[in-house]
Structure 1
């Protein structure tokens, strides 16, 4: 029994494979996806599974069983099913509880729009050639129920021809715990698109010379370009988007564009589409104008947004929250004067949360080996992280953007960190060093401004005179 078969899309290579080792058919299945070697195409097909009863478990099983789609190519077809599953989850029904009749009828209609879909797509999206140039286009969109992104690659050959193809896509349903406004969901879609773009650029091995992001949300784009004070959640998300954009700019030219809704390829990924319309949808090739010169695109760069749109942005900013700076603290920072004592109190609180609930968010590695009633080192470190995260939520990250000499990045715990140490010689007078009005007490000052640079005997500047929020002046030796 031969457990291996070989097959190529090249007839010449197939002729050199021994009959015993060559696959008997030119059509094979890989993880449920058919590959036709003679024309080198993949057959995307959604199969229906017979269901005796409709429950939350059977719905999830059917969604996962329609088609194996790791690249998200069938996102517009599948998003209505994912939204339906979220609606079922809101009902707090058991996994094996039969759904109400109205839900069953809705599920049957959704299944009918998906099951039976079949389309052949080229396996090869682009070919790497030394003389070709590659452009990555990221389209993002959101609705009240979902936000999504889709990425297209455009290959420009030496003779001037261009070809655009869908590369990957991703969609998520809107958060279930707290209803978000459309502009905030649009921001989430932009961040999702940039995250997928970064992963694509690092994994696919293609050197993209140009990366463009297209959104039909004027408000979200204005938030990204704005220097105005925004609500804390918006500020944090905007800062993450700016950091991602700067990372992309290190290897490729990057720009934000406003695109009309009717030209946004990601629009159907949030609205959904039936199988009849999906087969011939522009989803597979993207807008035709991607193959035209950039000057002929029906889009606006983020710098060309009108002032009237900016007024709308300011109005919406005030409407999205009652108090942009309001964030109720979880830990009693204002009531405790000692930072070590504050860390111990928070550590005890987190220990109680772990022991009294099944919450794994505050789990530590050596929890089973705790023999002392006092918090151990791991608990104190976790407590300190939670204190810093609270300060970030209260004060946002607007101050970071004002200090351009700092290179900052969010670590795996969501804490904003400095990744490159600036030299104190490069510091300027009146530079703000720490968070405004912060209540953290840790042997240094909540906020300070450089009032004087102090040179050493060798003329090198290694310290400075700082003025704190209380008006007290001190000399610091470790600013850099």
Structure 2
């Protein structure tokens, strides 16, 4: 965008509605010279933009927040002090995560909002250290604002999880056109979350949290692409140190509904992403989920610029022992060689409350890569996950079976997968339905 032309046009547009743009600030000396002729310049070197401080001379972003703590040791004061730090882009996410984990610890102790914990020397010492670290980060961190985006720009998403938290960080990489020189890589966004307290234990395994971290990163990609006008054709890399997650994302058939929903969401959020494995020591997202000393964090190149090898030629990146594919083929060539799948519905007739009901008979031949027609019998299976669809159909056929043999419809069916009839119907459905 030509900022001088933008200034002229925007001034005219606002004046046409009787609005006057009163102050302009920029790091462009040429633009500020033109603004000065209209007497609407802002001479302040430091400008606040949505709670973030922008130094127009150094062209850096920093935090103008001062931690507000009322010197009382209670849960309400801890929450107020933690929320006084405004970090929308997650530049100091590892520091803020420690505050969140401390607050969760207070919740687990079942303390009320006003209960004083000053008598607990361990908690008070921990909270004072967290306050000191957070204050140091807010005052010391300054991030270069300028980001260059072109057709060769790449987005690299790193994800990680631990037993208590998970998160993702995104880097913008501008590769060097010269293979002998280094490119430029900068942290652009990060987000961390703590593991929910009241959830099913089976959903809190570290592999599943790693998958959730990948979902967080995938959703952030769309936000970054829209905010920075990055074309969807630009390459996106999804990095994880969890091979089980990469295997899930490369699998066409997933039994777990929890995993399946997240895998589908990741594929929809980043349809063209490339899956890559990274070792834990080179994963910057690991910093989000681990405790780090504040002095090391402020000068940590892994956090601010990603792994050192990332700015070099891609041929020198870590060797991928396994090639992962975010969009694997639907069927294995060893199991199905034909491109045509045949699906047959049941032909069942029965009587219910003096009404004769005839089910639809349909034999569909479809190409396995073609879209399913809206009125097709297969649309039902395309809408829900396979196991849920099977469950609904089994209940339908049980109704037909009970009506046909005049059985009591009010009799509870029990577990549809363990009863003899349920086992038979489940096996029959799986045999005739090729999904």
TM-score for both structures, normalised by structure 1: 0.61
Q: 1:299 to 1:47 in 2, by over 3 A?
A: farther
Task: Give secondary structure in 2 for the equivalent of 1:219.
Answer: helix
Q: Quote the residue 1:413 is aligned against.
A: none
1:96 aligns with 2:114: yes
- Contact 1:155 / 1:164 at 8 angstroms: preserved in 2? yes
Output aligned runs, 1:131-146, within 5 Å: 132-146=151-165
Gaps of 5+ in 1: 306-336, 339-402, 408-417, 427-431, 447-467, 474-480
Per-residue CA deviation, residues 331-369 of structure 1 (Å, 9 max, x unaligned), is xxxxxx99xxxxxxxxxxxxxxxxxxxxxxxxxxxxxxx
- For residues 209 and 32 of structure 1, what CA distance do their matches in structure 2 show? 31
The answer to whether structure 1 residue 206 and structure 2 residue 230 are counterparts is yes
Aligned to 1:216: 241
Structure 2 unaligned runs (5+)? 1-19, 326-350, 353-366, 380-385, 402-423, 430-435
Task: Report if the CA contact (8 A) 2:69-2:80 is conserved.
Answer: no
Alignment of 1:43-122 (within 5 A): 43-44=62-63, 47-66=66-85, 68-100=86-118, 101=120, 102-117=122-137, 118-122=140-144
CA 1:138–1:425 in structure 2 vs 1: closer, same or farther (change >3 Å)? closer
Task: Tell me the equivalent position of 2:390.
Answer: 436
Cα–Cα, structure 1 residues 299 and 95, in superposed 2: closer, same or farther, change >3 Å? farther
Deviation at 1:182, TM superposition (A): 1.1
Match for residue 296 of structure 1? 316
Equivalent residue of 2:104, what SS? helix
Distance (Å, rounded) in 2 between the aligned partners of 1:445 and 1:153: 58
Distance 1:406 1:434, change over 3 A: farther
Say whether the 8 Å CA contact 1:114–1:274 is kept in structure 2. Answer: no
Residue 185 of structure 1: how far off its partner (Å): 1.0
Match of 1:182 among 198, 203, 206: 206
In 2, the alpha carbon distance for the partners of 1:138 and 1:445 equals 51
Distance 2:134 2:260 in 1: 36
* Counterpart residue number, 2:192: 171
1:194–1:241 Cα contact (<8 Å) kept: no
CA shift at 1:56, angstroms? 1.1
The residue that corresponds to 1:236 in the other structure is 258
> Does the residue aligned with 1:441 lie in a helix, a strand or coil?
helix
Rounded Cα–Cα distance in structure 2 between residues aligned with 1:433 and 1:53 = 53
Q: CA deviation at 1:257?
A: 1.3
Deviations 1:91-116 (A, max 9, x none): 22222222252322211111122212
Matches within 5 A, 1:182-331: 182-207=206-231, 208-226=233-251, 230=255, 232=256, 235-249=257-271, 252=272, 254-281=273-300, 282-300=302-320, 302-303=322-323
Number of residue pairs matched by the alignment: 330
Q: CA deviation at 1:41?
A: 1.2
> Which whole-Å CA distance do the structure 2 matches of 1:163 and 1:433 have between them?
47
In structure 2, relative to structure 1, the CA distance for the partners of 1:470 and 1:63 (3 Å cut) is closer
CA deviation string 1:7-35 (max 9, x = no partner): 11011221222385222321122343221
SS of residue in 2 equivalent to 1:147: strand
Shift of 1:209: 2.0
Deviations 1:245-268 (A, max 9, x none): 25523xx4x221111001111110
CA distance in 2, matches of 1:257, 1:104: 42
Task: Measure, in 1, the Cα distance between the counterparts of 2:391 and 2:281.
Answer: 46
CA deviations 1:72-98 (Å, max 9, x no partner) are 111112111111111112222222222
Q: CA deviation at 1:290?
A: 1.6
| 2:170 aligned counterpart, secondary structure | strand
Q: Distance in 1 between matches of 2:133 and 2:374?
A: 56
| 1:5 equivalent in structure 2 | 23
TM-score computed with the length of structure 2 as normaliser: 0.66
Distance in 2 separating the partners of 1:103 and 1:189: 29
Whether the 8 Å contact between 2:153 and 2:174 is mirrored in structure 1 is: yes
2-side partners of 1:82 and 1:433: how far apart? Answer: 37
Q: Is the 8 A contact 1:222 1:302 kept in 2?
A: no
Query: SS of the counterpart of 1:138?
Result: strand
Distance in structure 2 (CA, Å) of the matches to 1:471 and 1:116: 62
- Asked which structure has the greater CA Rg, the reply is 2
Corresponding residue for residue 345 of structure 1: none
Does the residue aligned with 2:171 lie in a helix, a strand or coil? strand
**Does the C-alpha gap of structure 1 residues 404 and 141 become closer, same or farther in structure 2, counting only changes over 3 Å?**
farther
Mapping 1:355-370, distance limit 5 Å: none
